[in-house]
Amino acid sequence: MGRYKINIARRKYTMSKKRNIPECPVEMTLQLIGDKWKVLIIRDLLTGTKRFSELMRSVTGITQKVLTSNLRSMEADGLVNRKVYPQVPPKVEYSLTETGLSLKPILDSMVQWGTEYRDKMHRSETSFL
């Protein structure tokens, strides 16, 4: 049964590589990082290389299965590097590729916008008191 699951996962992995590339650049970007988990994984990898367990702790609320799936997808899309060390117990580290690192300005803009929006909402809440 375990072997069947691996084959299904590989089939999904292969299918994701064959998807159509959208003409619209915004749609393309959303296809790559539009998932809430992917943006949070990128956020945490922007600070440096992380092990799987570190990402599990830093990305609050994500399950092991979802993190694994997202990391595989991001690796297939050229956003994440996966380095396996030949040792026991196995050691695997994840880092952003150059393409992944090129997303930093987008996340920086999200931080700026989110901060301004949050502050605006706080000001409007206090103006009603």
pLDDT for residue 8: 38
What is the reported pLDDT for 21? 82
Q: What is the pLDDT of residues 76-106, one digit of tens each?
A: 999 999 999 999 988 999 999 999 999 999 9
Evaluate if pTM is beyond 0.85. Answer: no
Measured CA to CA, the distance from residue 89 to residue 96 in angstroms comes to: 23
What pLDDT shows up at residue 125? 78
- 125 in a structural domain: no
Q: Say which CATH number the domain at 60 has.
A: 1.10.10.10
Containing structural domain, residue 62? 25-119
Residue 13 lies in a domain: no
Q: What are the residue ranges in the chain where pLDDT is below 50? A: 1-16
Note the pLDDT of residue 102.
98
Provide the percentage of residues in the chain whose pLDDT is more than 90.
Answer: 72
Q: Identify whether 2 is part of a domain.
A: no
Q: Which of 95, 59, 87, 77 is nearest to 16 (CA)?
A: 77
Cα-based distances in Å from 50 to 58, 82, 96, 114: 10, 10, 10, 25
Give the count of domains, the chain: 1
Position 6 scores a pLDDT of 37
Q: Is residue 12 part of a domain?
A: no
Residue 128's pLDDT is 56
* In-domain check, residue 19: no
Other CB atoms within a 10 A radius of the CB of residue 36 amount to 12
Q: What is the pLDDT of residue 126?
A: 74
